[in-house]
Chains A and B, each alone.
Chain A
Amino acid sequence: MVNQSSQLALPLIVLLCGLHAVADATAADRAQADESDYYRLVSVATSEASTDSRSKNWKPAPDGLALEVSGLTVLDDRRVAVAIRKGEVWILDGVYDDPPKNVTYHRFAAALHEPLGLLKHGDSLYTAQRTELTRLRDTDDDGQADEYLTVAKGWGVTGHYHEYAYGPKLDREGNLWLTLNIGMGLTGTQLDRTIKDPPLGYRQGRWRGWGMKVTPAGDLVPVCAGMRSPSGIGANAVGDMFYTDQQGNWVATNSLHHMRDGAFYHHPEALASMNEEDSPIAGITKVPGGIAYPDAVKQFSQLRPPAVWFPYKKAGQSATDILLDDSGGKFGPFSGQLFIGEFTQASMHRVFLEKVGGEYQGACFPFRSRFASAVLRMDQGTDGSVFVGLTNRGWSSLGTAAYGLQRLVWTGKTPFEIKEMRAMSNGFELVFTRPVDAPTATTPASWQMNSHTYLYHSTYGSDEILQRKLAIEKVTVSDDGLRVRLQVNGLRELFVHELFAFGIRSRDGEPLLHSHAWYTLNRIPR
């Protein structure tokens, strides 16, 4: 019902719009879309808890299942399986429906101790619990797991809450990968469960802060160390394995790392297990601290820089899962790239990787924000859409819900984005999703670039240090408008290079959907 006064006002509102159209040269901008025009969120189930996410007395919503998704694996074109934090696995049917009005819920397994991953592999579901990697099977086809078989165990569990175990994810050789959180401030009986006589004096449970793989033969193999809070694991398109870490002590900001034999990343307390049998790391006698990261890399030969740093706040505050867009274009123009979940900001970032000098490095970009809660898990559906598992209990996040499951669907429209950012010997090459407008792109004032690095130290996080503003010397645009080369003076190895492309427009006059990118320039190509 329209009341009288608004009817009265109607003609004047029309007049007002007309006025704006004349006065406002950028009227086209008004019609501009936001992220949701390109990637649409469908809520399969989201719930608002009545208590704060950090409340001592946290309670799930009173209306049923606490769908705090901590593991997520797509089963087929109708169903997904999710692990939830209270320790159950549920199978949800009808999750691709749009809107998803008839989703059914079926409990498949229970009594898992804080499972933080879920993977369909062969005829089974695999999940990492606090104490073991478990294989769940339903041998009598009654819809309930009746086998909870221990695939691997043997890492230290002192009883400290922070000792999460994440995974598994599969590599190209059939190994199942796990990551193990470091413990924090162990006390009392927890210390009895740490490594005795640890090298360098660090007290931790066995393999705490390590990346592990379980071979098809069932052997648990330590691979790499120095992780703090490695809540995300994933393979890239060629099957190399990566993990994300989260800002904290020794970890300057969130980061993405290539997991490989003998690599060391951040947190030296993981070295408590250095002298354990099978450890691929040896001989570290000194850990530097309080120095700039590039200097730390020089002094600490086992220290491997992250493939990508996610500058704090700018590119999230708490990185989580890693998802490869393996849909061959069904999820939009970013096929083959990685997507990184973000807990605190309830969002997702996108990562482009390249190999320079045999090592991965690359750039991160904002991708999609405004999920209903903290993004912890992701998996790609058979139609290319991405299921996103949410839960924020114990920490804090944006969003209106405490937990749930959403699906991110590409609308078919191509956003105007920087798709790739490659290092060159004298700058960067950008590849765009749509042709750029050459006049705006070739204006150096359309671009800004800065670089910075971090401190490697035992305190919590690091400011951006040694910041420098870089001049864009020259801009060249390819004939098709899809490639832009930026010639930049003063590139520094092991520094993050921040690009702000605020001035450029697409050929149809649109600004970038996201105009920031951060490239971790570990090596400058020769």
Chain B
Amino acid sequence: MTGFREQRSTRTPMMDRSTGRTRVVHWFACVVCMAHVSGEPAIAQPESVPFVAGFDRFARHGKIDTALSGWLLLTELSCTACHTATSEEFAPKLGPRLTGVGNRVRHDWIARFLRSPQLLKPGTTMPDVLAAVPESERAETAAAIAEFLMAQQEPFPEIKGTGARPVPHEFWNQGDVAAGRQLYHRVGCVACHEPDQDYETVESKPSPLDQLLEQLDADELKELGLTTAARRVESVPHGDLLAKYSRQSLTFFLLDPHSTRPSGRMPNLKLSVVEAADIATWLLREQPQRTVEPAESTARNSELVENGRRLFGELGCANCHAVTGTVRGAMSKPLAQLDAEASRSCMGAPQTGLPHFLLDSVQSAAIKSALAERARMVSIKPANVVQSVAEQQLHFQLLKLNCLACHERDMQGGVGRYRRPYFETIGHVDIGDEGRLPPPLTAVGRKLQTGWLTRVLQGNGDVRSHLRIRMPVFPAEHVKSLPALLVEADHSAAKQPAEKDVFGDISKLADDGRLLLDTGCVQCHPLRGDALPGVVGIDLQGIATRVHPQWFHDFLLDPGQLKSRTRMPTFFPGGQSQNRQILAGDTEQQIAAMWAYLKGLERYQLPPKIEQARSQDYELIPKDRPIVLRTFMDEAGTHAIAVGFPQRIHLAFDAEQVRFAHAWRGRFLDARGTWFERFAPPARPLGEKQINLPPGVPFAMFNNEQFPHPTFDAKDVTYQFLGYRLDKSGVPTFLYRFGRFDIEDHIQPTDDGQLSRRLTITDRTPEQSPASLWLRGHVGRTLKYESPMSYTSDVGLTVSVSQNGERAGELNGLEGRIEWLIPLTIERKKSIEVRYRW
């Protein structure tokens, strides 16, 4: 384990360019001041400006078009909530939905936040709304709106628990700080938010790029064009969560951020209730544990509430914040009519009647530039001919949703330099940055099928189960345009030929594909959940529903051309197959064959190497001693006891009907289903030459020579299975009781490939008159005479019984079958040898 600490740059959203650490110090210093001032606390001056992830990462460093960066502010600061724009792309981000805010957020926090949003939550995009009213009325206004908001009560949703969803009682009070801290740093929170400086990630090998960045100074970085790569990416600020949330409200927020923040800027990380409680508890770790919080008073001053409701509308709060039953305030000038240089504006000095946005010069300049180029804003139009409309629209959306925090596209964005260590694999396997980090989106429209892109964005496309990080879910309305935009921006639509145009006829290629997969792919990819030992990567099952045939073809042909520095090796150097044995070495046919196999993977056998790896895990291969497995078998019932022998002859005993039921040769059994499958499928013999032994019980006693032989009845307790005993070499002797006889039944292979059975019968009441017992030697449609003590049935099974001084027995017809019955006279104890050959 190594400690991981970021080296901090000085760029923060703060105007004073202090470090993140001193930002915290500043804030607490302010609290200290306030705590010591008596009476109405003086409102300290905020020192921060709104933080907009895409703006701060790219626009501040000139990495995106200035007008675009201004547009980003116009939506993310929700300017267009009051200054309507004509195009949907400029829809305002809007603020949290405040229905129910009264039991989510603390009263005191709301009141203070209203007085100075930036002071309480540095970086917030909420303007100072009270700037619109004279200083003398602000305290009163804030109190009224806070009272109104506290009256917005809505019960937290009931979370249904099921066998698949554990929901502990009052889970929000059961969070665990340590578990929450780990989750916070693992599942994706720190892709945008600040990691804890002391959190230790497990050492992972720094990528060559990271190593290089470490060694270069600023000038060298600039010279090599690595300044952007080397730059620290600022964190989306949390604000003072402890002052704002209870454990319950923060837990419910994390569980479903979109119900309160429909903007989706905070995505849904698919947390379980316990995970959400853990993270909330970590974030609120200064809060006393386990105390039941007294409910904030719900008695409200109704006059104040009504006053607040009115102000909430009048001051324009309702333009951004939905509250059931409020009316939006008046709209301001549409965007198209705004004067960037107007003396009276929300951006300049605070002015009565206007909310106030405290912006820095870069932000103001960006907005002015956007307004100056508003002609382009009817819809985004390319600033230059290089970018298509779709590309620009896409880019804008990726910036708004901060997709670029994790995903690189066209050399922009991706996981920031100091955040990479938090992207861990399960088990800390080394699969390089390519396997460890979220996939780049460059040209993804040409790679992934639209249907699959849609599924991923709906949160149902997790194929990288080896990553701790989760692809979060965004509200459908904010991502529904993305698949089409990706396709269009990547000029993909027209270029996607159908499967048959890429591969031709693949109907007979799957078997070859299976063998081709075996030569390389299986070294890095699991298939259908099975893999070679230690292999971690994307399972290729379903690949044909994920990627385009053409991309599959091109990527296999020359991976490096589509993905530079990929670990995927080329199997066709210079377009030539290295395997001349399969499909005559025809490259095109071979690629088509792999597609054909993977497309139907569900139906086909796994490639030989994986089959072999699987058999090492689950196939029972008797080596020195027999192997016993109790299981369900179609051939031997639900009380089957299978015995495999090193001689590669195996049998199954039915402990319910108390009979030797089945035998086979070659491979024994696969135990996976018996060992590890909930649905307990029957085990199937893997070998060949399977033979069913005659049905029915082995012995009978006949009164008055009564025929036929008794058949099996579950309630027939005259046969009682007593278990088995293993001898020194591990061979079981089955034990059972029939009437007055105890029977030991020992079966094992002979050197010449037969099964030899020794039946030892003991009379438990030898003092009684000697009993006559009949052994059922054989049963068949026909029985062919071999010798007086040997018959062969129509299915080719020869049974021979040791003479042992017995009578030869008799044949008895039985409803189309013939039984060979051998009378035995038992005096105390008798052994009989029976041989089975087939």
A77 to B176, alpha carbons, bound, how many Å?
Answer: 33
A5 to B641, alpha carbons, bound, how many Å?
Answer: 69
A135 to B735, alpha carbons, bound, how many Å?
Answer: 13
In the complex, are the beta carbons of A344 and B24 less than 8 A apart? no
Chain B positions within 8 Å of A, measured between CB atoms, are 3, 5, 8, 19, 21-22, 24-25, 28-29, 31-32, 35, 161-169, 174, 176, 197-198, 272, 274, 286, 288-292, 426-427, 465-466, 528-530, 533-534, 617, 627-632, 638-639, 641, 655-656, 671, 674-680, 682, 714, 717, 721-727, 732, 735
In the complex, are the beta carbons of B161 and A317 less than 8 A apart? yes
In the complex, are the beta carbons of B32 and A398 less than 8 A apart? no
A154 to B533, alpha carbons, bound, how many Å?
Answer: 42
In the complex, are the beta carbons of A146 and B726 less than 8 A apart? yes
Closest to A28 in B: B288
Closest to B291 in A: A29
Closest to A135 in B: B723
Question: A413 at interface (Cβ–Cβ under 8 A)?
Answer: no
In the complex, are the beta carbons of B163 and A317 less than 8 A apart? yes
In the complex, are the beta carbons of A313 and B168 less than 8 A apart? yes
Question: A147 at interface (Cβ–Cβ under 8 A)?
Answer: yes
Closest to B536 in A: A50
Most buried by A among B174, B198, B671: B174
Other A-B pairs beyond A8-B21, A62-B533, A511-B291, 7, CB < 8 Å: A32-B290, A50-B426, A156-B714, A193-B638, A313-B161, A317-B163, A395-B163
Pairs A-B, 8 closest by C-beta atoms: A57-B529, A394-B678, A86-B675, A111-B628, A149-B723, A29-B288, A5-B21, A113-B630
Query: Which residues between 500 and 515 of chain A lie within 8 Å of chain B, taking CB atoms?
Result: 502-503, 511, 513, 515
A190 smallest CB distance to B (angstroms): 9
> Which of A16-24, A209-217, A287-295, A322-330 touches B?
A16-24
B366 smallest CB distance to A (angstroms): 30
In the complex, are the beta carbons of B529 and A159 less than 8 A apart? no
Task: Report chain B residues within 8 Å CB of A66.
Answer: 675-676
Chain B proximity mask over A168-211: 1 for CB below 8 Å, otherwise 0? 00000000000000000000000001000000000000100000
A245 smallest CB distance to B (angstroms): 14
Task: Report chain B residues within 8 Å CB of A238.
Answer: none
Chain B proximity mask over A104-123: 1 for CB below 8 Å, otherwise 0? 00000011111000000000
In the complex, are the beta carbons of A113 and B674 less than 8 A apart? yes
Closest to A150 in B: B723
In the complex, are the beta carbons of A397 and B166 less than 8 A apart? yes
The one of B21, B289, B628, B732 that contacts A9, using a Cβ cutoff of 8 Å: B21
In the complex, are the beta carbons of B675 and A159 less than 8 A apart? no
Task: Report chain B residues within 8 Å CB of A150.
Answer: 655, 721-723, 735
Task: Report chain A residues within 8 Å CB of B162.
Answer: 317
Chain B proximity mask over A382-402: 1 for CB below 8 Å, otherwise 0? 000000000001111110000
In the complex, are the beta carbons of B32 and A15 less than 8 A apart? yes
Question: A51 at interface (Cβ–Cβ under 8 A)?
Answer: yes
A261 to B424, alpha carbons, bound, how many Å?
Answer: 57
A86 to B466, alpha carbons, bound, how many Å?
Answer: 25
SS class, residues of chain A in contact with chain B: loop
A471 to B641, alpha carbons, bound, how many Å?
Answer: 62
> For the side of the interface on A, what is the size category?
35 or more
A511 to B294, alpha carbons, bound, how many Å?
Answer: 13
Most buried by A among B5, B631, B676: B676
Task: Report chain B residues within 8 Å CB of A55.
Answer: 529
A137 to B725, alpha carbons, bound, how many Å?
Answer: 10
In the complex, are the beta carbons of B723 and A398 less than 8 A apart? no
B633 smallest CB distance to A (angstroms): 10
Known A-B contacts A315-B169, A317-B167; the reply to A148 vs B724 at CB < 8 A is yes
In the complex, are the beta carbons of B168 and A398 less than 8 A apart? yes
The one of B35, B161, B641, B680 that contacts A114, using a Cβ cutoff of 8 Å: B680
B425 smallest CB distance to A (angstroms): 11
The one of B163, B629, B679 that contacts A318, using a Cβ cutoff of 8 Å: B163
In the complex, are the beta carbons of A159 and B682 less than 8 A apart? yes
In the complex, are the beta carbons of B725 and A32 less than 8 A apart? no
A344 to B166, alpha carbons, bound, how many Å?
Answer: 6
A128 smallest CB distance to B (angstroms): 13
In the complex, are the beta carbons of A16 and B628 less than 8 A apart? no
Question: A157 at interface (Cβ–Cβ under 8 A)?
Answer: yes
A125 smallest CB distance to B (angstroms): 13
B701 smallest CB distance to A (angstroms): 22
A129 to B674, alpha carbons, bound, how many Å?
Answer: 12
Question: A453 at interface (Cβ–Cβ under 8 A)?
Answer: no
Chain B proximity mask over A485-510: 1 for CB below 8 Å, otherwise 0? 00000000000000000110000000
A214 to B641, alpha carbons, bound, how many Å?
Answer: 23
In the complex, are the beta carbons of A19 and B35 less than 8 A apart? yes
Question: A516 at interface (Cβ–Cβ under 8 A)?
Answer: yes
Closest to A396 in B: B164
SS class, residues of chain B in contact with chain A: loop
In the complex, are the beta carbons of B630 and A87 less than 8 A apart? yes
In the complex, are the beta carbons of B19 and A398 less than 8 A apart? no
Question: A34 at interface (Cβ–Cβ under 8 A)?
Answer: yes
Closest to A61 in B: B427
Chain B proximity mask over A42-85: 1 for CB below 8 Å, otherwise 0? 00000010111011111110100010000000000000000001
A317 to B169, alpha carbons, bound, how many Å?
Answer: 10
Question: A370 at interface (Cβ–Cβ under 8 A)?
Answer: yes
Known A-B contacts A6-B197, A159-B638; the reply to A1 vs B3 at CB < 8 A is yes
Known A-B contacts A62-B533, A397-B166, A511-B292; the reply to A147 vs B176 at CB < 8 A is no
In the complex, are the beta carbons of B676 and A313 less than 8 A apart? no
In the complex, are the beta carbons of B32 and A19 less than 8 A apart? yes
Question: A301 at interface (Cβ–Cβ under 8 A)?
Answer: no
* Complex A-B: 20 CB contacts under 8 Å: A15-B28, A15-B32, A30-B289, A32-B288, A50-B427, A50-B466, A59-B676, A85-B675, A85-B676, A113-B631, A114-B680, A132-B655, A134-B723, A148-B726, A149-B725, A154-B717, A313-B168, A313-B169, A345-B166, A511-B291
A166 smallest CB distance to B (angstroms): 15
Task: Report chain B residues within 8 Å CB of A313.
Answer: 161, 167-169
The one of B5, B167, B174, B722 that contacts A3, using a Cβ cutoff of 8 Å: B5
In the complex, are the beta carbons of B161 and A312 less than 8 A apart? yes
A203 smallest CB distance to B (angstroms): 15
A68 smallest CB distance to B (angstroms): 9
Task: Report chain A residues within 8 Å CB of B286.
Answer: 20
In the complex, are the beta carbons of B166 and A346 less than 8 A apart? yes
Most buried by A among B290, B465, B722: B290
Question: A411 at interface (Cβ–Cβ under 8 A)?
Answer: no
In the complex, are the beta carbons of B28 and A12 less than 8 A apart? yes
In the complex, are the beta carbons of B676 and A58 less than 8 A apart? yes
Question: A300 at interface (Cβ–Cβ under 8 A)?
Answer: no
Task: Report chain A residues within 8 Å CB of B291.
Answer: 26, 29, 32, 511
A515 to B723, alpha carbons, bound, how many Å?
Answer: 51
Task: Report chain A residues within 8 Å CB of B176.
Answer: 370
A394 to B656, alpha carbons, bound, how many Å?
Answer: 27
Task: Report chain A residues within 8 Å CB of B722.
Answer: 149-150
Task: Report chain B residues within 8 Å CB of A51.
Answer: 529
Closest to A246 in B: B163
Question: A236 at interface (Cβ–Cβ under 8 A)?
Answer: no
Known A-B contacts A9-B25, A29-B288; the reply to A366 vs B628 at CB < 8 A is no
Most buried by A among B3, B466, B627, B714: B714
In the complex, are the beta carbons of A111 and B21 less than 8 A apart? no
In the complex, are the beta carbons of A511 and B723 less than 8 A apart? no
B66 smallest CB distance to A (angstroms): 33
B744 smallest CB distance to A (angstroms): 13
Task: Report chain B residues within 8 Å CB of A516.
Answer: 169
Task: Report chain A residues within 8 Å CB of B676.
Answer: 58-60, 66, 85-86, 393
Known A-B contacts A3-B5, A148-B724, A396-B166; the reply to A129 vs B533 at CB < 8 A is no
The one of B3, B163, B288 that contacts A344, using a Cβ cutoff of 8 Å: B163
Task: Report chain B residues within 8 Å CB of A1.
Answer: 3, 5
A111 to B466, alpha carbons, bound, how many Å?
Answer: 33
Closest to A8 in B: B21
In the complex, are the beta carbons of B290 and A129 less than 8 A apart? no
Known A-B contacts A12-B28, A34-B289; the reply to A56 vs B169 at CB < 8 A is no
